[in-house]
Amino acid sequence: MGGYRFPSCSGLREFSRQRSLVHDNTKIPEACEKSGLESLPGGNRSGRWERRTYKIVLSYHGGSFDGWQKQRGLNTVQGSIEKSLGEFVDEKKAKLLKDKSLPVEGCAVVAGRTDKGVTALGQVCSFYTWRKDVEPQHIELAVNTAAPRRLRAVSVSEVSRSFHPNFSAKWRRYLYIFPFNDGENGELSEGTRKNVDKICSKANSACRSKGFGNDIGNEDLQSFILSDEDDDYEAGNKQVSFEVSRVNQFLQLLEGKLLSYKMFARDTKASRNIGPPTECFLYHARASLARLKGADHQGGRNVMCIELVANRFLRKMVRVLVATSIREAAAGSEQDVLMKLMDSTCRRATAPPAPPDGLCLVDVGYTDFNPATCLIKKGS
């Protein structure tokens, strides 16, 4: 992505503070708690109930890692976490790993794997051990020393054995921050002052018959829509414009509906391309123009924020949905265009994924979704 720096330093801290005010997901539902340790007579634990499970809420910078999933030879979040948890593995498991000539590392189960470059403020994973001397603060210290300034344990708590960070989750929240140019040297243009909802910028675009790729505003984001290996666009330079309010209208039509998003997914197995595995329910889908303060631009910088909250997301679904919404807004499409694309038979009908740099997993919820916690409010 060239020299573009996602405004994580000041921007993520700001959103992190908002998140801590509106939503605290460090506890799991009461039903899960009752089905665990507290349901045992006298609180005693024996046999399989001796296993202690810990919920770890994580924050990490996506640009510092090669994604979540552990892969040989790559610097991944899961790899760093599991290595730090190695000191808490019980003796029996440690012996089994050593006998197989494997490193003594813990096993972290996650709420949802993030792609390379995607940042997280409230990712959730769990770890279990049969050791009785492990305390939450021990795990927090180990995680925080694994990759300082790049990975942090926001909180660690012991939870019921029945807790699963993925299957127990009721919703996930993503926030995509997309920067715009405001004239030269980051200054507001006259047109932006008069109508802050309308963004005009230079772009690369292709004719609509070939997919209409575009590249909004920043030379460091040249691969915004033209980066998909499966698509070969011939692009030319011309002026395009779109209204953030139009993107917002597209997304709002998806709220409160159970729909199949297979056309917006990428890299999924054929067995998961039909039926319920492709269905998602969006609780909240909004776009809004904001001004983000940062050291890179005096006076701040105009950004478009897209907030998506759903019970689940398919592989690269958020990035494809964002890219397609922008493409269709620039093309002047009808308001129900995203709904119509659901019925397509080829994924080339939707845009290639937007870059991961501006995407952030804000938090994961284990109680019913509360609209009052939304970052982009109704009417924004």
What amino acid positions are annotated as catalytic residues?
115
> What's the CA gap between 165 and 127, in Å, rounded?
10
| Residue 247 contacts residue 325 (beta carbons within 8 Å) | yes
Query: Within 13 Å and on the Cβ side, how many CA atoms surround 197?
Result: 12
Structure tokens given for 142: 């180990």
d(CA 2, CA 4): 6
Separation between Cα atoms, residue 54 and residue 52, nearest integer Å: 7
- Asked whether 379 and 287 are in contact (CB, 8 A), the reply is no
Q: How far apart are CA 289 and CA 329, in angstroms?
A: 14
Q: Hey, what amino acid is at 59? A: S
86: nearest Cα among 131, 26, 148, 116: 131
Rounded Cα distance, 251 and 104, in Å: 46
